[in-house]
Amino acid sequence: MIAVLSRRVCGLLLTLLAVSLLIFVVMDVLPGDPAAVMLGTSAQPDTLAALRHAMGLDQPVMLRYGRWLGGMVTGDFGLSTTYGVPAADLLWQRVAVTVPLAVMAILLSVAIAVPLGVMAAARRGRAVDYLAAVFAQFSIAVPAFWVGLLLIILFATRLGWMPSGGFPGWSAGIMPALGALVLPSIALALPQAGVLTRVTRAAVLDVLDEDFVRTARAKGLSHGAVLWRHAVPNALIPVVTVLGLQFTFLIAGAVLIENIFRLPGLGQLAYQALARRDLIVMQDVVLFFAASVIVTNFLVDLSYLVLDPRLAGRAT
């Protein structure tokens, strides 16, 4: 078990290192000098050189990569060239919007998809199964950002129930802040729910074929008890796996959704950083997103061991 775990952790660290190197190389070959952006077009060459020196831009590539990576580990993410504040401060402010948004979207999609998928499997071939299939097919084809626009048209401009965007900040109180995240999280959750519904249905159908389900039925357990106590817990592994794999798409969706609802989250920060050529912030945000995808999938891998203790023995 310990050996399995340490090997997995090594793999995780290696992947993280490779991603950071990839991002650094791509950002490094990008045209645009952060120091020149800071000083504007009228900068004197010697001032520019001095700033480049102060920012460490005149150092060899490997050293700069090492410094950036070292800074990441110690919590120093570099200095934002456009905001003039540490990138770490910016990042943590924005995380406070994006992470709650992502968590709400995941919870919502699970709350829709798991009951729907289980019902579809339990009543296979009946009306609810077809409805679930149609729902899944459509919600997978719908772009999350378009759902966002439709929600704004309906709830903000027509009905006037919800704000069309913006974020009051957590200092305005929990309820107003959460309220601002309701429509965005619905838009983000819908496509995820479609995928999860299908996976849940297929996984539950698979489990319902197993011998232990037949045994449970033979013992005289009710249909509901067999379904929820035996079938569903055993069907969770594929559901959790897909949830983890979908995380990349959730993040990509968040970039667009934050843009539509004018939420000051990480996605919006990445977009602004790109527009202003704030390369350090851009680099940090992309690494943050990529690392969160990698770590999420690592945790999903580990969760198998909890969900299915049998795997611990065979894990490689």
Partner 1 sequence: MPRSAALSEPAAGRAADRAGHRAPASRVWLRHPPLALGALITVALAAIALLSLVWTPVSPARMQIAFRLQAPLARGLLGTDQFGRDVLSMLMAGAWNSLSIAASAVAIGTAIGTLAGVAGAARRGLIEAALMRGCDVLFAVPPILSAMMLDAFLGPGRRGAIVAIAVFMVPVFARVTGSAARQIWARDYILAARGAGKGATLITIEHVLPNIANPIIVQVAIQLGLAILTEAGLSFLGLGMPPPTPTWGRMLADAQTYLGVAPWLAIVPGCAIVVTVLGFNLLGDGLRDLLDPRAGGRRGLSLPALEPPQTPDRGAP
For residue 16, the minimal CB distance to partner 1 (Å) is 9
For residue 203, the minimal CB distance to partner 1 (Å) is 7
Query: Any contact of residue 146 with partner 1 (CB under 8 A)?
Result: yes
Binding span for partner 1 by CB under 8 A among 64-72, 80-88, 134-142, 175-183? 134-142
Sequence-separated (6 or more) residues with CB below 8 Å from residue 53: none
Alpha carbon 235 to its chain's center: 23
Angle subtended by helix axes 174-208 and 144-151, to nearest 10: 130
Query: Any contact of residue 27 with partner 1 (CB under 8 A)?
Result: yes
Query: Any contact of residue 10 with partner 1 (CB under 8 A)?
Result: no
Binding span for partner 1 by CB under 8 A among 15-23, 85-93, 103-111, 174-182? 15-23
Query: Any contact of residue 85 with partner 1 (CB under 8 A)?
Result: no
Query: Any contact of residue 15 with partner 1 (CB under 8 A)?
Result: yes
Site track 151-170 with partner 1 (rule: CB under 8 A), x = hit: -xx--xx------x------
Contact status, residue 186 vs residue 149, Cβ threshold 8 Å: no
Query: Any contact of residue 282 with partner 1 (CB under 8 A)?
Result: yes
Question: DSSP string of 181-205?
Answer: HHHHHHHHHHHHHHHHHHHHHHHHH
Query: Any contact of residue 90 with partner 1 (CB under 8 A)?
Result: no
The Cα–Cα gap between 68 and 56 comes to 11
Q: Is 127 or 175 the residue whose CB approaches partner 1 more closely? A: 127
Closest by CA to 253, choosing from 107, 142, 167, 170, is: 142
For residue 174, the minimal CB distance to partner 1 (Å) is 28
Closest by CA to 148, choosing from 277, 263, 227, is: 263
For residue 194, the minimal CB distance to partner 1 (Å) is 8
Token duo for residue 228? 């929820």
Q: Is 104 or 132 the residue whose CB approaches partner 1 more closely? A: 132
- List C-alpha distances in Å: 151 to 16, 102, 145: 37, 18, 10
**125 burial class (0-12, 13-18, 19+ CB within 10 angstroms)?**
exposed
**Side chain identity, residue 198:** R
Query: Any contact of residue 102 with partner 1 (CB under 8 A)?
Result: no
Q: Is 177 or 206 the residue whose CB approaches partner 1 more closely? A: 206
Cα angle at 187 between 181 and 191, to 5 degrees?
140
Residues numbered 193 to 252 that lie near partner 1 (CB under 8 A) are 194-195, 198-199, 201-203, 205-206, 238, 241-242, 245-246, 248-249, 251-252
The Cα–Cα gap between 19 and 148 comes to 31
User: Helix (H, G, I), strand (E, B), or coil: what is residue 81?
Assistant: coil
Site residues (vs partner 1, CB under 8 A) = 11, 14-15, 18-19, 22-23, 26-27, 29-32, 125, 129-130, 132-133, 136-138, 140-143, 145-146, 149-150, 152-153, 156-157, 164, 191-192, 194-195, 198-199, 201-203, 205-206, 238, 241-242, 245-246, 248-249, 251-252, 255-256, 259-260, 270-271, 274, 277, 282, 285-286, 289-291, 293-294
